Structure 1
Amino acid sequence: MADNNSSAGGEVSLKQINDKVIIVQILVIIFLCINLLLIVTFFRKECFYTTARYILFAVTLLSDSFILLMSNILLIMNHFNFTIQVWLCIIISVVVLLYVIVTPVTLTAMTLERFVAICMPLRHAELCSTRSTIHCILIIHGLSSVRCIVILSAFFASASLSVYKQSKVCSVEMFMLYRWHDHLRSAVSQFYFLIMCIIIVFSYVKIMKVAKAASGENKKSTWKGLRTVILHGFQLLLCLIQLWCPLIEAAVFQIDLMLFINVRYATYILFNVTPKCLSPLIYGLRDETFFNALKNYVFFGFCYLFLCWIHKLTTHCCCCLIFFGSFCLH
């Protein structure tokens, strides 16, 4: 009887984990489809890919979509205990570690763009030109790669050559061979976000001063920019908590395995998947120009699908009528 109960409990636990994985797949597919729709809309109008804030918005969409896809693949591999060689995991992890930071750094750059637009309007066209934005994207990727280089350098300095030939379940935690590796990763992440928070607060205070001094339409535009900065700050907070999650999970793992699984699932949904849907909310829906383009694209897309359906229906009807007519003549 005890054996039956324990096996039944194991089946329930496995079923719960499977249900959770299915829920994650549904959420990831939904957010990827939304991001894909926004990316297609971005490339449909010239004013979007020649304006700094829309270009940076597209960078966040691509970065979020890529991280969602890669983290989901790693989640499935971990769920089924699928092992790969360490050297291949290093290549995958380089990309993941890079683009986890690209999004918050890009959000900070978008905050600075709003600061320049509102507080330095006469220099906005010069500082936020298309050429300058391309250079900014390269700088963003360069700054974002520092954390990845630090983490992997510590791993390369500590790991023996035999480690690279082993097969393991791929995760970033695999590179944390010693306790000080965790502390180093945490220190670098917190340094990033200290700088980002300073920039956010600085931009907020400066825009607030301009908002109080502005009047009429200019004041309305300034307060809209201020709300955008606040939303960027909230999204950065979620990203910061996401980088603290490994420390929380490591502490929970020492207490109970099932609690660790539940906590990891909750943190993945709240602090990994959720921030990825805030970018579409901030710029895809709140921005009037982008929202109108998106609305028209979706409307005409549905119209096109409807016309295709009507065309196929009439074609089949005509074929049936021709066949029936020929049958009657015979």
Structure 2
Amino acid sequence: MQNVTNFPSNSSSHSRLPVIIKVCMVIPVFSIFLYCIAVMLRVFACHRRYLDSSRYILFAHMLINDTLQILSSVLLFLLVMGLVKSAIVFCVPLLFISTVTYQNTQLILATMSLERYVAIFYPLQCPAAWRSDRIWIIIMSLWLLSCMVVVINYSIGEPNPALASPLTTPVMCLPILINLSPIQILFNAAKSIFFFAAVAVIILFTYMRILIETRKLRQDSVSLSKAMHTVLLHGCQLLLSMLAFSIPITETLIVMHAKWPPEDIAFFNYFCFILIPRLLSPLIYGFRDQSLRGYIGKAFLCCLK
């Protein structure tokens, strides 16, 4: 999955000014995101009642997952912008974390939609796996599935002939170092289509069932309506997370209508379709929640003071 900074390897032709501009665009946005996430996690840590709800436990897990994804992605971006080369054994962990967390985002969104479905239709007979004290089993299963998919992708690849020694050969930390063979490209395409379709079906199914239930049960229409809007928000988050698949289309359009250098096209795609959606997704969900919004506002005021 080309979900990290996939800049061309001939970055030595960059002038220093564009590189400084790119870094100055990424670092402030990344800092604001990290600050907001730290405030939200502090709210969860200070108010233990949120950890008694499977919904908020999954949301906290999404915050941690997206933080790891952004951290690894921005670190890879800075390494490429600084023309820093290192051995492949040091690049693989960063690429692995970035790819696993990218994959995990879609699974978390599907799980959060299913949690709303279970909470609405089985309020008194909630399955054991969905209770707050057992939800970690589902969370660990998501991580295991994401890791297995990435390990399979790395395993079916062919060794890069340009690497004389994985321990000593200096390389730029780019996904193309690992996703090199045609079978890996085919596997990534099939995996992406399958997971996107599966998650989209789950979100659409839960949304339609809650919508039908809202029309049936007028006495509890407020809570059902909130659940329906929450699932709809998960669908919007899924679309935001899948914007990375539009990168080939935007690259073609930019090449046809503008004479941008390849590294500028790569940065535009990274900033607009990978970084920004990852920043907006948890922030929209967190500030939309009325219960969390009050605590987040107080936490911001305390930090400012």
The two structures share one fold, judged by TM-score above 0.5: yes
| Letter paired with 1:167 | P
Structure 2 equivalent of residue 181 of structure 1: 184
Matched, 1:99 2:101: yes
Structure 1 equivalent of residue 156 of structure 2: 154
Structure 1 or 2, whichever has the larger Rg, is 1
Structure 2 equivalent of residue 194 of structure 1: 197
Percent identity of the aligned residues?
24
Q: Deviations over 1:167-213 (max 9, x none)?
A: 11002222122333222212112211111111111111111111111
CA contact (8 A) 1:63 1:103 kept: yes
Separation in structure 1 between the aligned mates of residue 68 and residue 259 of structure 2, nearest angstrom:
29
Structure 2 equivalent of residue 164 of structure 1: 166
Separation in structure 2 between the aligned mates of residue 13 and residue 159 of structure 1, nearest angstrom:
29
Q: Deviations over 1:47-77 (max 9, x none)?
A: 1112111111111111111111111111011
| Letter paired with 2:44 | F
Separation in structure 2 between the aligned mates of residue 253 and residue 234 of structure 1, nearest angstrom:
26
User: SS at the partner of 1:167?
Assistant: coil
Give the alignment's Cα RMSD to 1 decimal: 2.7
| Letter paired with 2:147 | S
Instruction: For residue 290 of structure 1, report the CA deviation from its aligned partner.
Output: 1.4
Separation in structure 2 between the aligned mates of residue 27 and residue 82 of structure 1, nearest angstrom:
22
- Give the number of equivalent residue pairs: 291
| Letter paired with 1:190 | I
CA contact (8 A) 1:60 1:279 kept: no
Q: Which has the higher contact order (CA 8 A, sep 6+)?
A: 2
Q: Deviations over 1:7-26 (max 9, x none)?
A: xxx99964233212211111
Structure 2 equivalent of residue 123 of structure 1: 125
CA contact (8 A) 1:61 1:279 kept: no
1:224 to 218, 226, 233: 226
Greater helix fraction, Structure 1 or Structure 2: 1
User: SS at the partner of 2:71?
Assistant: helix
Query: Any stretches of 5+ residues in structure 2 without a counterpart?
Result: 1-11
Alignment TM-score, normalising by the size of structure 2 = 0.85
| Letter paired with 1:285 | F
User: SS at the partner of 1:131?
Assistant: coil
Matched, 1:31 2:36: no
Q: Summarize the alignment of residues 1-330 of structure 1 with structure 2, pairs less than 5 Å apart.
A: 14-124=16-126, 126-155=128-157, 157-159=158-160, 162-165=164-167, 166-216=169-219, 218-243=220-245, 245=247, 247-248=248-249, 258-302=260-304, 305=305
User: SS at the partner of 2:47?
Assistant: coil
Alignment TM-score, normalising by the size of structure 1 = 0.79
Separation in structure 2 between the aligned mates of residue 250 and residue 265 of structure 1, nearest angstrom:
11
